[in-house]
Structure 1
Amino acid sequence: MSEPDSEAPFCLPRMPLTRLPKKPLPLGTIDTHFHVFRSDAPLNTPCSYTPQIATTADWIAFANRLGIGRGILVQPSVYGLDNQVLVEALAAFPDRLRGIVVIDPETDPTEIARLDRLGVRGVRINTRNKGGLPLTAAETLAANIRDFGWSLQLQISPDQIDGLAGRLPHLGVRFVLDHLGFIPLADGAWRQHLPALQRLADNPSGYVKLTAPYRLTREHGYAGFAEVVQALAASHPEKLLWGSDWPHTELWSDMPDDADLIDGMQEAIGAPTLARKIFIENAETLFFGR
């Protein structure tokens, strides 16, 4: 790995998986959001954090232990437009992995076709981190990826959700909101943001990731997260995706326990039919149709 940016602090190392969840994940679970990092891969300048190394092999071991069948590898902001680590992972596990890249909006269709053959199924827009693509790239990207059936993956701020609910449906591609749009959970603040999430999911092309509650609140037990999950599962069960967010980058304290996170998610979802949709079926439709 290249020398870290002096303003990009090292993330905490992930916690080892010391126990399994109380209830096994549904057979065939798909992890729709994780990252990997290789020690010799150069970091983008600038970047928002310096990652701890967590390789594809590390995720495979993590997934095997938990019974996760397949995964969607998401390009982290610290690698900018250099998707080499992701591409190598897809090539190593073509039946098990699909990928979400970060590319120049003007990327040639022949390069998009090459990435598509390797298992890439979307492009990430990220307005929250250095090295991410801006929302202004959405129209150009959508036009270039539409024929490939790719989606736009969006890491944005809560105040951008409402505008997207009206803007994105006209782009003609599916779109996926990372980490519940970073809506704040503390003191019931999620209640004022829930309608915007539901409006976004009302669109046939809109999906929401139920991921990373530790990014939405500092409260112990992630108060409010279960309520948001339950409300969305009641209104839009076919539009929800689960992801581990492994290895939990950009944390400087309170590294979560993965088994605790899965326990909390399964308790919030409850019904096995809902669990199959959220842990398997919705992701299978979105990412593994071919």
Structure 2
Amino acid sequence: MNLTESEAPLCLPRRPLTHLPAKPLPRGAIDTHFHVFRSDAPLNSPRSYTPQIATTADWLAFAEELGIGKGVLVQPSVYGLDNRVLIEALAALPDRLRGIVVIDPEVGTDEIVRLDTLGVRGIRINTRNKGGLPLTAAEKLAAAIREFDWSLQLQINPDQIDDLAVRLPPLNIRFVIDHLGFTALDGGEWRPYVRALQQLADHPGGYIKLTAPYRLTSQPGYAGFAEVVRTLAASHPDKLLWGSDWPHTELWSDMPDDADLIDRVQEAIGDPALARKIFVENAETLFFGR
């Protein structure tokens, strides 16, 4: 049965690039979080949204305009366990892309070997969207991927951060927290959550994505985002990643401007050497070491 639009609403289309960031991205910048969608690929049911089509070629054009060198393609929830669109993208750009898949926690080693050869470097847990893997899958997934040096990528709610602090460090794997753990940035309520994120980043395998401020606040100028970026950059410069979150799924108003988003992150980071760590070096180590 097809879902009605009210059950899985159609996202806004992405905004075309009309200008470039005021300051170019560091040479070799790596976009660690984006999605692609193909018109004939079946969508999961149930799902949280219906995507606009945004192909690998569309992202490549976007990356070329902005000077993005490489990318990490993240499996969107609307495709569930069907990673075919992602795998086709990796096959088309094997030197430029790595992938984060969603797979059955019971998957065998042979399948992980196959995916690793194709450029997959992690598995996504997503507790916010229909079709995502639950946090309770972390232990089984960690056991399956540990010898491959993959990471767990976690899209979670902020009230799950304390659970992560207990659950993740003993797993002895790398892990990445998407979108600042969806910490609400309005007012000063974010400070305890950022301290909790810092504690996760204290772990040798813990990383945090400085991504999607428009998901964290409705205030003009993304109030609080710059202060959070500066706070984390001061304490954990080697554990931060940048991603575009292109094409900005699950938005039905106020589609962001990509150049403006990049400007805000770069302004908050400030120091060019620090920017190079966050935009290039940390992601190169985590995803492109082989």
The 8 Å contact of residues 36 and 54 in structure 1, kept in 2 or not, is answered as yes
Structure 2 portions without partners, runs of 5+: none
**Unaligned ranges ≥5, structure 1:** none
Contact 2:127 2:135 in 1 (8 A): yes
Cα pair 1:4 1:50 within 8 Å, conserved = no
Mapped contact 2:3–2:45 kept (Cα < 8 A) = no
Structure 1 residue matching 2:100: 3-state secondary structure? strand
Matched ranges for 1:1-290 at <5 A: 5-6=4-5, 7-290=7-290
Q: Give the Cα–Cα distance (whole angstroms) in 2 for the partners of residues 4 and 74 of structure 1.
A: 24
Calculate the TM-score normalised by the size of structure 2.
0.98
SS of equivalent residue, structure 2 residue 246? coil
Supply the distance in 2 between the matched residues of 1:4 and 1:84 (Cα, whole angstroms).
22
Cα deviations across residues 91-116 of structure 1 (Å, max 9, x unaligned)?
00000000000000010110110000
Check the 8 A contact 2:201/2:207 in 1, yes or no. yes
How far the C-alpha of 1:165 sits from its partner, in A, is 1.6
State the distance in 1 between where 2:122 and 2:193 align. Answer: 26
Q: What letter corresponds to residue 21 of structure 2 in structure 1?
A: P
- How far the C-alpha of 1:191 sits from its partner, in A, is 1.6
Q: CA deviation at 1:167?
A: 1.8
User: C-alpha offsets along residues 17-47 of structure 1, whole Å, 9 cap, x if unaligned?
Assistant: 0000000000000000000000000000100
Letter in 2 for 1:264: R
- Distance in 2 (CA, whole Å) between partners of 1:289 and 1:192 is 33
Structure 1 residue 166: Cα displacement: 2.5
Q: Secondary structure at the match of 1:188?
A: coil
Displacement of 1:169 after TM fit? 1.0
Deviation of the 1:48 alpha carbon: 0.1
- How far 1:192 sits from its partner (Å)? 2.4
Q: Percent sequence identity over matched residues?
A: 78
What is the RMSD computed on CA atoms of the aligned residues? 1.0
- Name the CA distance, whole Å, in 1 between partners of 2:2 and 2:262: 34
